[in-house]
Amino acid sequence: MKTDVEELSPTRVKLTIEVPFEELDHAFDETYKSLNKQVRIKGFRPGKAPARLIDRYVGRGAVVSEAVNHAVPELYNQAVQDKEVFALGQPEVEITELEDGERLSFTAEVDVRPQIEIPDYNGLEVTVDSTEVTDEQVEEQLGTLRERFSSLTDAKRPAQQGDHVSIDLSAAIDGERLEDVQASGISYEIGTNTLLEGLDDALTGLSAGESTTFATTLVGGEYEGREADVTVTVHSVKVKELPELDDEFAQMASEFDTMEELRADTRKRLAESRQHQQHAQARDRAMEKLVDAVEVPLPDSVVNEEIDRRRQSLEQQLERGGLTKESYLESQEQTEEEFEEELTSSARSAVKAGFVLDQLALEEELSADNNELSQYVIQQAQRMGVPPDQLIKHLRDSNQLRIAYTEVVRSKAIDLVVSKAKVVDESGEPVPGIGVNASTAEDGGDGTEPAGDAADATTAATDESNEGDGEAAPDDSGQSTDDAESQSRV
């Protein structure tokens, strides 16, 4: 077999493959076996008819065509392996010459992983937020805790902003009462504007037992968008009372005896939370900085697949939530054009980041073992609220085990970049425990062994996924792999 590779663009190549007919013997053998099971030739038992009679019975042209269809995928796979072409997606194949008994020639155009030169990332400077906790932030956190222990008491006055009321609602259009548009015993906080436009103004000044009618536009249901007269009746007006921030509150709301201890613990917890945020920011910003420093030509087909995946994911989420795309765009204060622009931009960024991390993983010879894959699957299962065995089965059945592998390897690539980065806070001070400031080296895993049947099932599944692959290598897609379908190297 002879193969020539022509670069059509930085992300697409054309393979020209020429094969002597004698190299198609295996394909013809398989074709005759298949046809032998389908045809019945008088005088021969099923599967025993000679090739020359099958040629005569179904036609030599049909036999050759079937053999070529069988051979081309195998020949293409062999060609990309021999020429070390990192193909993405399915090729566009064209038969250019087919002479029975002589030769087969065909071309295959396919998108390929672009050539990427990873810059030196030793000492990459990354800035993260400070962990400093202000008094205002502590008091805000205590205020949230205080809200949890609030109580409602009768206001014994007309309703005003911030009050909690119990109300009945009914609606009429042109004087005709709408039986399907009424509700009783609704609890509502005045000022939140979460029910009907104009309701807050109508309630303000009403006392328990009083009613009023106001005009508004109905939302949802059969009469959505119609103008209606809505009558609201107030049953009770209550005011929220917050407990004093004193030692008694500290004892009621926590394990501490004094407010001083509770404030100190609140400050400590906020600082710890900010430290976790620093680690997450260091990963995100180190990756962004590395990716921004690299020029990567992107295959249109891979970008378009990522755009479609993201659009479908959003549509599924909206459908599950009973929302429309129009209502989503309105909530985001976006036009259709702005949405598409943002979708395309985010997809291109994800594809580019995937290519960069995959190249880095290849250069650094990063891989993932079964223990790391098990930990990843278990963590994802916990995040999704499903049993690990169920997630493993889904990944295996949908042929997505390589996605899990890619996700783990890419994560290790990010960890490697962060481990060599100079991480400072907003004031320019080095952040301890991250990057070159870390006191101990991290190996990319927590060293814990997955427990029980879940780990065993993951190991079996990943062994099955890698069987026959030889040394594992990162997936060659440019897509983010949180839930994307990956494109494997052919």
Query: Is 415:409 a contact under the CB 8 Å cutoff?
Result: no
Which has more pLDDT, 250 or 403? 250
In the predicted structure, residue 408 carries a pLDDT above the cut 80: yes
Residue given tokens 């879940």 in the structure block: 454
Query: What's the whole-number average pLDDT of the chain?
Result: 84
pTM: 0.67
The Cα–Cα gap between 192 and 417 comes to: 46
Query: Is 350:306 a contact under the CB 8 Å cutoff?
Result: yes
Per DSSP, 448 falls in state P
Q: E strands of 293-392, at which residues?
A: none
In the predicted structure, residue 453 carries a pLDDT above the cut 50: no
- Helix H or strand E encompassing 233: strand 227-241
The Cα–Cα gap between 244 and 413 comes to: 50
Task: State the pLDDT at residue 12.
Answer: 93
Per DSSP, 475 falls in state -
List b or e across 458-469, with b for residues whose CB sees 16 or more CB atoms inside 10 angstroms.
bbebbeebbeee
Both tokens of 489, joined, read 């190297």
The Cα–Cα gap between 62 and 79 comes to: 25
Mean pLDDT of 391-401: 85
Mean pLDDT of 435-459: 49
Q: Which residues pair with 14 in a beta bridge?
A: 6, 109
Per DSSP, 450 falls in state P
- Helix H or strand E encompassing 420: none
Mean pLDDT of 101-108: 90
List b or e across 46-64, with b for residues whose CB sees 16 or more CB atoms inside 10 angstroms.
eeebeeeebbeeeeeeebb
Query: Is 239:163 a contact under the CB 8 Å cutoff?
Result: yes
Both tokens of 13, joined, read 């190549």
Task: State the pLDDT at residue 392.
Answer: 87
Mean pLDDT of 146-171: 93
Task: State the pLDDT at residue 343.
Answer: 94
Mean pLDDT of 338-353: 94
Task: State the pLDDT at residue 324.
Answer: 85
Domain ranges of the chain: 2-112, 117-150+249-295+352-490, 151-241
Mean pLDDT of 63-73: 87
Using left for φ > 0, alpha for ψ between -120 and 50, and beta otherwise, residue 174 falls in left
The Cα–Cα gap between 152 and 355 comes to: 57
The Cα–Cα gap between 292 and 201 comes to: 51
Whole-number CA gyration radius for the chain: 33
Query: Is 168:183 a contact under the CB 8 Å cutoff?
Result: yes
* 2-112: CATH topology: Alpha-Beta Plaits (3.30.70)
Residue 243 CB burial class (10 angstroms; 0-12, 13-18, ≥19): middle
Predicted confidence band of residue 439 (pLDDT cuts 50, 70, 90): low
Query: Is 129:135 a contact under the CB 8 Å cutoff?
Result: no
Which has more pLDDT, 204 or 475? 204
Predicted confidence band of residue 421 (pLDDT cuts 50, 70, 90): very high
* Residue of 193, 194, 167 lying closest to 182 (CA atoms): 167
Predicted confidence band of residue 158 (pLDDT cuts 50, 70, 90): very high
Query: Is 124:290 a contact under the CB 8 Å cutoff?
Result: yes
Predicted confidence band of residue 65 (pLDDT cuts 50, 70, 90): confident
The Cα–Cα gap between 399 and 347 comes to: 22
Query: Is 351:306 a contact under the CB 8 Å cutoff?
Result: yes
Task: State the pLDDT at residue 46.
Answer: 63
Which has more pLDDT, 29 or 368? 368
Query: Is 30:74 a contact under the CB 8 Å cutoff?
Result: no
The Cα–Cα gap between 200 and 160 comes to: 9
Both tokens of 168, joined, read 């009945």
Around Cβ 385, how many Cβ atoms within 10 Å? 6
In the predicted structure, residue 193 carries a pLDDT above the cut 70: yes
* 151-241: CATH topology: Chitinase A; domain 3 (3.10.50)
**Percentage of residues of the chain with pLDDT beyond 90:** 57
**Percentage of residues of the chain with pLDDT beyond 70:** 86
| Axis crossing angle, helix 388-397 with helix 401-419, rounded to the nearest 10 | 110
Chain centroid to CA 124: how far?
27
Predicted confidence band of residue 488 (pLDDT cuts 50, 70, 90): very low
Q: Which of 127-141, 158-172, 435-449 has the lowest mean pLDDT?
A: 435-449
Query: Is 142:245 a contact under the CB 8 Å cutoff?
Result: yes
Chain centroid to CA 226: how far?
39
Amino acid in position 447: G
Which has more pLDDT, 206 or 66? 206
List b or e across 333-348, with b for residues whose CB sees 16 or more CB atoms inside 10 angstroms.
eeeeeebeeebeeebb
Predicted confidence band of residue 330 (pLDDT cuts 50, 70, 90): confident
Chain centroid to CA 199: how far?
40
- Rounded to 5 degrees, what are φ and ψ at 233? -120, 130
